[in-house]
Amino acid sequence: MNTNRIDVHYVGKLSELRGIHRSFELLYTLRGRGLDVELWALGSWRTDTDEHRADQFIRDRDLEAYIESPDTLTTTKCSDICTVRTSGSLC
Protein backbone atom coordinates (compact mmCIF):
# COMPACT_ATOMS: atom_id res chain seq x y z
CA MET A 1 0.00 0.00 0.00
CA ASN A 2 1.28 3.43 -0.93
CA THR A 3 0.91 5.41 2.30
CA ASN A 4 1.45 8.73 0.49
CA ARG A 5 -1.44 8.18 -1.90
CA ILE A 6 -4.82 9.73 -1.16
CA ASP A 7 -7.73 7.38 -1.82
CA VAL A 8 -11.13 8.95 -2.45
CA HIS A 9 -14.12 6.58 -2.36
CA TYR A 10 -17.46 7.37 -3.95
CA VAL A 11 -20.04 4.76 -2.94
CA GLY A 12 -23.52 4.60 -4.39
CA LYS A 13 -25.46 5.27 -7.56
CA LEU A 14 -23.07 6.94 -10.01
CA SER A 15 -24.85 10.04 -11.27
CA GLU A 16 -24.16 13.69 -11.85
CA LEU A 17 -27.05 14.58 -9.54
CA ARG A 18 -25.41 12.65 -6.67
CA GLY A 19 -21.98 14.19 -7.26
CA ILE A 20 -19.83 11.69 -9.15
CA HIS A 21 -18.81 14.32 -11.71
CA ARG A 22 -17.66 16.61 -8.89
CA SER A 23 -15.52 13.72 -7.65
CA PHE A 24 -13.87 13.51 -11.09
CA GLU A 25 -13.28 17.26 -11.03
CA LEU A 26 -11.73 16.96 -7.55
CA LEU A 27 -9.44 14.18 -8.76
CA TYR A 28 -8.33 16.27 -11.73
CA THR A 29 -7.69 19.36 -9.57
CA LEU A 30 -5.73 17.51 -6.88
CA ARG A 31 -3.62 15.62 -9.42
CA GLY A 32 -2.94 18.95 -11.12
CA ARG A 33 -1.54 20.18 -7.80
CA GLY A 34 0.88 17.27 -7.75
CA LEU A 35 -0.94 15.07 -5.24
CA ASP A 36 -0.99 11.29 -5.66
CA VAL A 37 -4.76 10.73 -5.67
CA GLU A 38 -6.89 7.79 -6.76
CA LEU A 39 -10.69 7.68 -6.99
CA TRP A 40 -12.67 4.51 -6.33
CA ALA A 41 -16.14 4.74 -7.92
CA LEU A 42 -18.19 1.98 -6.29
CA GLY A 43 -21.65 1.58 -7.75
CA SER A 44 -23.62 1.37 -10.97
CA TRP A 45 -24.47 4.18 -13.36
CA ARG A 46 -27.86 5.82 -12.94
CA THR A 47 -28.18 6.67 -16.64
CA ASP A 48 -26.28 6.07 -19.86
CA THR A 49 -25.96 9.85 -20.21
CA ASP A 50 -24.18 10.14 -16.86
CA GLU A 51 -21.80 7.36 -17.86
CA HIS A 52 -21.13 8.86 -21.29
CA ARG A 53 -20.40 12.34 -19.88
CA ALA A 54 -18.12 10.84 -17.23
CA ASP A 55 -16.23 8.76 -19.80
CA GLN A 56 -15.70 11.85 -21.95
CA PHE A 57 -14.45 13.94 -19.01
CA ILE A 58 -12.07 11.15 -17.92
CA ARG A 59 -10.68 10.60 -21.44
CA ASP A 60 -10.26 14.34 -22.13
CA ARG A 61 -8.13 14.70 -18.98
CA ASP A 62 -6.24 11.38 -19.16
CA LEU A 63 -7.58 10.21 -15.78
CA GLU A 64 -8.17 6.54 -16.72
CA ALA A 65 -5.18 5.30 -14.71
CA TYR A 66 -6.37 7.03 -11.53
CA ILE A 67 -9.95 5.76 -11.34
CA GLU A 68 -10.92 2.31 -10.10
CA SER A 69 -14.41 0.92 -10.60
CA PRO A 70 -14.44 -2.75 -9.58
CA ASP A 71 -17.10 -4.76 -11.45
CA THR A 72 -17.79 -6.83 -8.34
CA LEU A 73 -19.24 -3.80 -6.55
CA THR A 74 -21.60 -2.50 -9.25
CA THR A 75 -24.62 -3.85 -7.40
CA THR A 76 -24.44 -0.99 -4.88
CA LYS A 77 -27.71 0.87 -5.40
CA CYS A 78 -27.80 3.74 -2.93
CA SER A 79 -25.55 5.33 -0.39
CA ASP A 80 -24.29 8.82 0.30
CA ILE A 81 -20.72 8.22 1.33
CA CYS A 82 -17.56 9.93 0.19
CA THR A 83 -14.42 9.10 2.16
CA VAL A 84 -10.85 10.27 1.83
CA ARG A 85 -7.95 8.28 3.27
CA THR A 86 -4.75 10.20 3.68
CA SER A 87 -1.77 10.04 5.98
CA GLY A 88 -1.20 13.78 5.85
CA SER A 89 -2.78 17.11 5.08
CA LEU A 90 -4.33 18.04 1.74
CA CYS A 91 -3.18 21.65 2.17
Confidence at residue 3, expressed as pLDDT on a 0 to 100 scale = 64
CA-nearest of 5, 7, 82 to 43 is 82
Q: What is the mean pLDDT of residues 63-74?
A: 77
What's the pTM value of the predicted model, to 2 decimals?
Answer: 0.73
Q: What is the pLDDT of residue 81?
A: 52
The CA-CA-CA angle for residues 63, 22, 58, to 5°, reads 20
Where along the chain do its domains lie? Answer: 6-85
Q: What is the mean pLDDT of residues 24-41?
A: 93
Q: What is the pLDDT, as a whole number, of residue 39?
A: 92
